[in-house]
C-alpha cells in the first residue's frame, strides 16, 4: 500500500480469512486487529520535496545574490535563538534538543525530541517539516492540554530566532525542506456552522462518517478514546499514546473547528492518527460523496456536537453510536473502499 497509512495497515486479509460473516463488533476479538498501527513513516518526503524543488528551481537564480546576505542573517538569528532556547525551552526539551531536559521525567506526554525531525502540528502533509508559521502557532498557543506552555508574550523576533535554533537539532531534515508560510488553507464552508438546524444535520452526517471511516476503532463508539485498537498504540518517539477524547473542548492543536479539521485532514504526524486528506482526496475521483471535503466539516461538526453536549448545551439530539452496532467487516468495507481507490 503506497499511502500514509502504510504502517497503519487496515486489517483486512487476515481478518477476512479468519472470520465468518456477521461477526458482531466484539471488543476483545477486534483488539489490535482491525488496524495494525505503528507510528506513520516520516520518509515519503522525497516525492513532495521533488515537487517543491522543481517549483522553486526557476526562481533560484534571482535569489542567488541575496543568499549570501541571508546566510549571515540566519547565523545571527541562530545565535540569538540559542540564548532564548536555553533559558525558555531547555528545561523540558533538553540542552541537546532530545526531549530530556531536567523537567521531562515528570511529564506526560514527554517534551518533543527535536533530533528526530518529526512534528505533529502543521498545515503541510504528513512527512513534511512544519512551516515556520506552523511552529510559530505552536509557540504562541502551546500544545493545549499538555505541559507545553504558550509563549504568546515573547516577542515574535525572539520566537522566530528560537525556531531557527530548534532546526539545528535535526539539520538534515530541515536542509531538505524549509518553508516559511503555512500552506493548504482549509476554508470553513460558509454558513456551515451558523444555524442550529444545519449544524445538527451536518453533525448527524459526521456521526455516520465517524463509523464508516473507522474512527471508532481507535476513538471508540463513545469517542472518548477507548476503541478496541486504543490499547498499546505507540508514537514515533517510542512513547505510549492514547487516541484523543473528543468530548473535550479542545484538541492539542487548538480550540477552533479549523484545528479539528486540520488534525483529521493532515493527521497527527508521529502518531497513529491517520491523515485522511490525502487518501480521501485521491479517492474523490471515484466517490462523489467525498468531493469538496465536506466529510471533514461534517466530522468536525460531530466533534463540536459532542463537546457541546458535554457542556450541557444539547441532550441526546444525536444519540450515541451504539456499542456493537458495527461489525469489523462493515468498518473494513466502508474504510477499505476509499483506500483501495488509491491503489
- Binding-site member from 11, 25, 30, 37 for ligand HEC (CB under 6 A): 37
For cell 479542545, the residue is 250
Binding span for ligand HEC by CB under 6 A among 55-63, 136-144, 281-289, 304-312: 136-144
- Binding-site member from 124, 126, 128, 244 for ligand HEC (CB under 6 A): 244
Q: Which is nearer to ligand HEC, 18 or 256 (CB)?
A: 256
Of residues 148, 306, 145, 293, the one with CA closest to residue 219: 306
8 binds ligand HEC, rule: CB under 6 A = yes
The CB-of-36 to ligand HEC minimum distance in angstroms stands at 9
338 binds ligand HEC, rule: CB under 6 A = no
Residue 71 Ramachandran class (φ > 0 left, ψ -120 to 50 alpha, else beta) = alpha
Q: Which is nearer to ligand HEC, 10 or 44 (CB)?
A: 10
Binding span for ligand HEC by CB under 6 A among 54-62, 117-125, 195-203, 321-329: 117-125
Binding span for ligand HEC by CB under 6 A among 16-24, 38-46, 58-66, 115-123: 115-123
34 binds ligand HEC, rule: CB under 6 A = no
- Binding-site member from 124, 136, 143, 290 for ligand HEC (CB under 6 A): 143
Residues making contact with ligand HEC (CB under 6 A): 8, 35, 37, 88-89, 91-93, 103, 107, 109, 111-112, 119-121, 130, 135, 138-139, 143, 146-149, 151, 162, 166, 213-215, 217-219, 229, 233, 241, 243-244, 246, 251-253, 260, 263-264, 268, 271-274, 276, 299, 303
Amino acid at each position: 500500500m503506497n499511502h500514509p497509512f502504510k504502517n497503519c495497515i487496515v486489517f483486512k486479509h487476515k481478518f477476512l480469512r479468519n472470520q465468518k460473516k456477521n461477526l458482531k463488533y466484539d471488543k476483545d476479538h477486534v483488539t489490535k486487529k482491525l488496524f495494525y498501527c505503528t507510528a506513520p513513516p516520516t520518509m515519503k518526503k522525497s516525492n513532495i520535496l521533488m515537487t517543491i524543488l522543481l517549483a522553486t528551481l526557476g526562481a533560484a537564480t534571482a535569489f542567488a545574490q541575496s543568499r549570501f546576505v541571508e546566510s549571515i542573517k540566519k547565523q545571527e538569528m541562530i545565535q540569538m535563538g540559542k540564548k532564548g532556547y536555553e533559558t525558555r525551552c531547555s528545561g523540558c526539551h533538553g540542552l541537546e534538543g532530545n526531549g530530556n531536559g531536567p523537567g521531562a521525567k515528570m511529564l506526560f506526554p514527554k517534551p518533543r525530541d527535536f533530533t528526530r525531525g518529526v512534528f505533529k502540528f502543521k498545515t503541510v502533509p504528513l512527512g513534511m517539516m512544519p512551516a515556520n508559521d506552523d511552529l510559530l502557532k505552536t509557540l504562541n498557543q502551546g500544545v493545549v492540554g499538555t505541559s507545553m506552555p504558550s509563549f504568546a508574550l515573547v516577542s515574535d523576533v525572539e520566537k522566530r530566532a528560537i525556531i531557527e535554533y530548534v532546526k539545528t537539532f535535526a539539520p538534515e531534515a530541515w536542509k531538505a525542506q524549509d518553508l516559511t508560510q503555512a500552506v493548504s488553507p482549509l476554508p470553513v464552508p460558509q454558513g456551515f456552522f451558523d444555524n442550529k438546524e444545519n449544524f445538527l444535520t451536518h453533525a448527524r452526517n459526521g456521526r455516520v462518517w465517524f463509523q464508516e471511516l473507522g474512527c471508532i476503532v481507535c476513538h471508540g463508539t463513545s469517542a472518548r478514546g477507548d476503541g478496541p485498537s486504543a490499547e498499546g498504540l505507540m508514537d514515533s518517539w517510542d512513547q505510549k499514546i492514547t487516541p484523543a477524547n473528543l468530548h473535550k473542548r479542545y484538541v492539542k492543536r487548538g480550540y477552533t473547528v479549523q484545528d479539528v479539521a486540520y488534525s483529521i485532514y493532515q493527521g497527527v504526524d508521529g502518531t497513529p492518527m491517520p491523515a485522511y486528506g490525502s487518501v480521501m482526496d485521491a479517492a474523490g475521483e471515484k466517490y462523489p460523496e467525498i468531493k469538496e471535503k465536506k466529510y471533514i466539516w461534517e466530522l468536525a461538526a460531530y466533534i463540536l456536537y459532542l463537546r457541546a453536549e458535554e457542556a450541557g448545551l444539547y441532550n441526546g439530539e444525536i444519540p450515541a453510536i451504539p456499542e456493537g452496532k458495527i461489525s469489523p467487516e462493515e468498518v473494513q468495507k466502508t474504510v477499505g473502499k476509499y483506500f483501495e481507490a488509491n491503489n
